[in-house]
Chain A
């Protein structure tokens, strides 16, 4: 059997696919961040905590109310998104006229508080959430055993990413949003309620994080630290893609998942730093990120 880069092609295909699956989470999360940053200019550091809340709310719905995974997919983003709306109205809205740094500090503080509360209540070992019956099992692809649930994650994530990109870049609503970012006063003068639109956008971004949380719940253990571990990587993804660039966030999310997956084969010890090495290189060559526009 021939070998590619020292490993059999079967193993390589398997790892590429796994990278794509992890990339789906990066893409979904960095998409939410990019939407919030691009349209609100807020660096939402509580994104990881909101992702974790998504997983927890799914677990709570299942445990306390017997609501299954499919309903959770719909309800959880709404519930967690609503908490986002409240946070935006009560706190973040007061910071728009200040430097980015204040929004970052506020959301970072919120993340610590939310994680602390969940940790206090549920501990760190994690809670079990099983894969829905319809998606359990897997398919033997010849080069690897692909769990059906993971295949579903890739498909779901790709659909949501495309939908969001389309809504923002290709619809009238998206045009309003982009216009409001450029010049809120002018857009307001046309009779559009800009503050409400911004609030809902934040809620939507948070909802995306929560959706990623529901998708992650059956794969990873549902625990209060799950977001904190991921958020730093996701920020690196956003920076590489270009802060605020929606397409950039999606493409780099999937792409870096694959790069990380390959690193796990060739030099696993470096897999937690490879993304940051790429970030440093990209910043040196293109400070605005791969898809970013320099202002």
Chain B
């Protein structure tokens, strides 16, 4: 072989190797960008996904990542339409976030149909990795089982055994009510009743009065976001807490506490997967996040989007492609590690497990500054924080 031919041949093979190695990935962040969950997910989740791509240094590893986003308005039909369009026409490989369980189920179905990947952070229903699990879904941040066991167990141990629920009337609220009821009853407590309100709601005084009339010691709030904020505010107004009944916010995000103000929110016990002020790494990341997010600290949903996108990109690097089965296999066999959740693992049913935390909201006097809201009551180790693999009824678990 003559020298010029050799050069041409090697350059050509290098080029070909180059094209073979570059992987184009398109990630769609689908969440609520205008409604009650927009602050806890919304644009912050897009920012978190972008930060994951930057921190992973994807471009240097030959992975070109494009992030797009859309508003599902918390409606399952809109969510599945967008998901279908993203997969069919826009070449999206993975959908991230998707709060609102009913919408998340819709996206999980479409994702399974199209054999793509769904990395959920925002939705709560534990059925996503239980009875309705899918080989294409990873559920990262939290679920109703974890919330029920965190807050529910803590409250029952404190002696609050008679419960009444105010429940958002859709998949998430119903799942949270059912899971918490199970915890309460298993611990020897009693559920006196529940009232289910349309989602989203504005006036909760009527439900609060029913809860008061039930004679329960604790009112479990099986709702989220703006609904929870309004319920807690109105409970204070109607003298519910002053009269001796306790409130258990079963899903409270830091943005809700921010909206309520510490004066109203103080003393609430809640379960979260993430808090910005846990260690140096979470503080450093959160401050970067806040700097680009108008000063607002990240919620656990934002943190979950970051960590799940990071884990996904590692799998893309490891498998050198974007073949769904290989990626899912890699994500489930390789333990995860990131600055926000530490070490964790994705189980066969798609559930990511990590430590959860039981927090109490500080009083205005205890808080040292803006966003200094929680004091840590207990860490719940990963192995106890989530539903045991065998109990979920997921078909992927043998």
Interface on A for B, CB 8 Å cutoff? Answer: 8, 10-11, 14-15, 18-19, 21-22, 119, 123-128, 131, 138, 144-145, 147, 149-150, 219-221, 223, 225-226, 229-230, 261, 264-265, 268-269, 271-273
Contacts and interface: CB of A to CB of B under 8 A. Distances in A.
B259 A269 contact: no
Interface stretch (B81-89, B121-129, B229-237): B229-237
Contact of A271 (B198, B230, B237): B198
Nearest to A148: B237
A268 B209 CA distance: 13
Q: Which of A11, A223, A226 has the most CB of B within 10 A?
A: A223
6 contacts: A125-B39, A127-B259, A145-B239, A147-B239, A220-B202, A268-B196
Contacts of B291: none
Contacts of B171: none
Interface stretch (B30-38, B111-119, B341-349): B30-38
Contacts, number: 106
A264 B38 contact: no
A226 B258 CA distance: 18
Given A145-B238, A220-B202, A123 B210 contact: no
A125 B206 contact: no
A147 B237 CA distance: 6
A288 B302 CA distance: 50
Interface of B: 34-36, 38-40, 42, 169, 195-198, 200-203, 205-207, 209-210, 213, 225-226, 229-230, 233-234, 237-239, 243, 255-256, 258-261, 264, 296
Given A125-B39, A229-B202, A268 B207 contact: yes
Nearest to A123: B39
Contacts of B243: 145
B238 A138 contact: yes
A221 B259 contact: yes
Nearest to B37: A124
A226 B35 CA distance: 10
A5 to B, nearest CB: 14
Contact of B36 (A8, A124, A265, A269): A124
B195 A268 contact: yes
B259 A126 contact: yes
A265 B255 CA distance: 31
Contact of A229 (B200, B207, B259): B200
B199 to A, nearest CB: 9
B237 A221 contact: no
A147 B229 contact: no
A225 B198 contact: no
A147 B198 CA distance: 24
B245 to A, nearest CB: 12
A12 to B, nearest CB: 11
A28 B323 CA distance: 59
Contacts of B234: 219
B206 A220 contact: no
B198 A272 contact: yes
Contacts of B203: 18, 22, 219-220
A138 B239 contact: yes
